[in-house]
Chain A
Amino acid sequence: MYRYDEFDQQLVNERAEQFRRQVRRRMNGELTEDQFKPLRLMNGLYLQLHAYMLRVNVPYGCLSARQLRQLAHIARKYDKGYGHFTTRQNIQYNWIRLEDAADILTDLAAVGMNAMQSSGNCVRNVTADHYAGRARDELQDPRVWCELLRQYSILNPEFSYLPRKFKIAVTGAPKDRAAVALHDIGLRMYLNEGGEPGFEVIVGGGQGRTPVIGKTIREWIEPEHVISYVEAILRIYNLYGRRDNIYKARIKILVNALGIDKYRELVEAEWLQIRDGVLKIAPEELARIDAYFQPPAYEQLADQDTEPSQLHDADPAFAAWLQSNVAEHKVVGYAIVNVSLKSPGKIPGDLSAQKMDALADLADQYSFGELRVSHRQNLVLVDVKQSDLHALWQALGALDLATPNIGLASDIIACPGLDFCALANTRSIPVAQDIALHFANSTKLQHVGDLTINISGCMNACGHHHVGNIGILGVDKRGQEFFQLTLGGSSDEHASLGDRVGPGLPQSEVPGAIERIVDTYLEIRDGKDECFLNTYRRCGMEVFRTAVYGPAGPARRVTATRQVA
């Protein structure tokens, strides 16, 4: 993976020192909170309900064991002994003291990490397929371009005061694990007829209050032009994006207002002016960065016979874990192991410092010291020998990190909600915990199969409820928490937005409603291979609406709580 050289290191060191001075000026009273706010936000420091929160970038989800140990150290020294992995492949610390913030940035810089632009109206951390460079279905490893985009966007002087925040996601596989259609820019790598890699460029996707599936602005662009094309998109957005209303300021609103054809025309005209300029990626720079992403020293192995079905009678728990948590590696004899941070009853995405350390050790022992953070709030060990899987499973199990639920009903994405967040209308963590406990039985979980459940505690949609197969949105009605369900959302290569089932339910009724939806699915699915999403797409809403509200429909009491989404 990428390692800072002297230039990268100097840049983060200088930035950390600058922030140290700014914090000192704030603590001395030389800066008011109003003046300090934009400065701290540029360094990922939010003021939440109870304390400061620091959001640390994990660039395109790649993390070394050494970095994970430092994250553990930070959790222990400056927080309450844990951290929270987010849907943006980042980690957040929820209990930070202002006087420690600069020291944390210095500690991060020591391991080649930073918190720059993890907030604010700028280009945020570039995200990617968490299996990038490892997945067997991958056409092209996108990480070198992710790193080029990271360097291009960090402290970019032109694009640090965009109309609104800006998120870029990249994948190089036909199976979209990076939700590229739901980002301001999505880049999808594929090979042309000549076998050369290039990008499809998608623009204007996003969630929040106005969910939109992104549109293809360009079917094909050569990799050496990808940065200049991104710059053209950013410049047109910076010049013409709305600035009068923060809820209408994302690029998706501009693209929808102009229409994709007009937006494309503007971008293409701009791009023609810059395509052969300084942003064209020089072969030597590409080679320099690419060298960091060379594969580790794999052994020559054969694929093992680890068909879960054959193992099932001998060791059903291991078989279940293989089935759901282990993915195919592009190198024969190796496997990708997902580490579930979704043990039922626990807070989705949270990890204690002690477990971070233990996991870093396991990464060193079994996975060339490299991990990934997934946008589904789990971690990944990307280079595990298949012959080590059983031992690793046992070691993860001892840490309660081997729940066999990746992509299944208890692998719930939830935003921090009202337990932490100043924007939230409702809590979301207790709802996630309740539902996960309903699916704690691994046999039932496996029986139900692929099912994503996403929970957001307000319409800002940080829990990505729009794209959950089952989405749950918390709304406040006269001081009471209600939860609206949506069905049919998906963030993959056939992305879709969920449809609302009906009026919101009180929290106590949510797990039961989910259970009835799932039971209905089990009754009507066309065999075990038809996942929930496909059954919904085939059968439609009505049968599920009846399952939730009964044949008579929602009761009047509940109807009165209808919210405008």
Chain B
Amino acid sequence: MSTLIKDNKLTEDPFTRIGVDDAIPAQGAVLVPLATWQDHREKLLRRGEPVGVWLKSDEHPEIIAGDVNHLQLIALEFPTFRDGRGYSYARLVRERYGFEGELRAVGDVLLEQLHYMGRVGFNAFEVDSEDALAELEIAARDFSVWYQPSADGRASSAQLRTELKRHG
């Protein structure tokens, strides 16, 4: 049974996942595959309900870069935990396309990967484990220093050093 964590809380998923061949329901938030979004973009927008797009790991989010302001959710799929494309996609979605809604990691997501995913801009995770929340708390507690600036807005060590120098 998969669990959804959003913004560090266990969350009921308000989005109904729609398959490529499924009819779009009249009401309610939906999470649709890229093909459905492309084929029924206007219809989905006219519904006036939250819409999310689900991208597979070979679907570059650049395709929907111009649409991010219409979307409430972007789900990036990890077909295996070794497939790291989603980390680059996430940074592009946040930093380059300016998406501010829910960015969700779905698929083969390991607990140990959650804090890296958080750093590149994911704020929601669909995982198979009840321990995910605890893992996020551990990561938040145990890691305080990062060398790289990333999409989570946390200061890098270089930025911290500069701060220290200015105020010290």
Q: How far is the CB of A265 from chain B (nearest CB, A)?
A: 16
Residues of B contacting A14 in the complex (Cβ-Cβ under 8 angstroms):
142-145
Q: Is the CB of A158 within 8 A of B145?
A: no
| A8 within 8 A of partner (CB) | yes
Q: How far is the CB of B156 from chain A (nearest CB, A)?
A: 8
| A11 within 8 A of partner (CB) | yes
| B167 within 8 A of partner (CB) | no
Knowing A282-B158, A282-B162 touch, does A17 contact B88 (C-beta < 8 A)? no
Q: How far is the CB of B3 from chain A (nearest CB, A)?
A: 18
The size class of the interface chain A forms with chain B is 35 or more
Complex Cα–Cα for A71 and B111 (A): 33
Q: Is the CB of A243 within 8 A of B147?
A: no
Interface residue ranges of B126-145 to A (CB < 8 Å): 142-145
Interface residue ranges of B97-121 to A (CB < 8 Å): 110, 112-113, 115-117, 119-120
Residues of A contacting B17 in the complex (Cβ-Cβ under 8 angstroms):
none
Residues of B contacting A154 in the complex (Cβ-Cβ under 8 angstroms):
147
Knowing A273-B96, A285-B161 touch, does A10 contact B145 (C-beta < 8 A)? yes
Complex Cα–Cα for A159 and B161 (A): 24
Q: Is the CB of A157 within 8 A of B142?
A: no
Interface residue ranges of A1-42 to B (CB < 8 Å): 5, 7-8, 10-11, 14, 17-18, 35, 38-39
Chain B residue with minimal CB distance to A22?
A: B112
Contact with B along A270-288 (1 / 0, CB 8 A): 0001000011001011001
Complex Cα–Cα for A544 and B156 (A): 56
Q: Tell which of B117, B119, B145, B158 touches A11, judged by Cβ atoms closer than 8 Å.
A: B145
Knowing A157-B116, A161-B83 touch, does A285 contact B158 (C-beta < 8 A)? yes
| B60 within 8 A of partner (CB) | yes
- Most chain A CB within a 10 A radius of its CB, from B116, B145, B165: B145
Knowing A239-B60, A285-B158 touch, does A155 contact B83 (C-beta < 8 A)? no
Complex Cα–Cα for A35 and B108 (A): 13
Q: List 7 A-B contacts (CB under 8 A).
A: A7-B157, A7-B160, A11-B147, A160-B84, A235-B88, A238-B88, A284-B165
A residues with a Cβ closer than 8 A to B are: 5, 7-8, 10-11, 14, 17-18, 35, 38-39, 121, 151-152, 154-163, 235, 238-239, 243, 273, 278-279, 282, 284-285, 288
**Those 7 A-B pairs whose CB atoms lie nearest each other, nearest first:** A161-B84, A157-B119, A157-B116, A7-B157, A11-B145, A151-B147, A278-B149
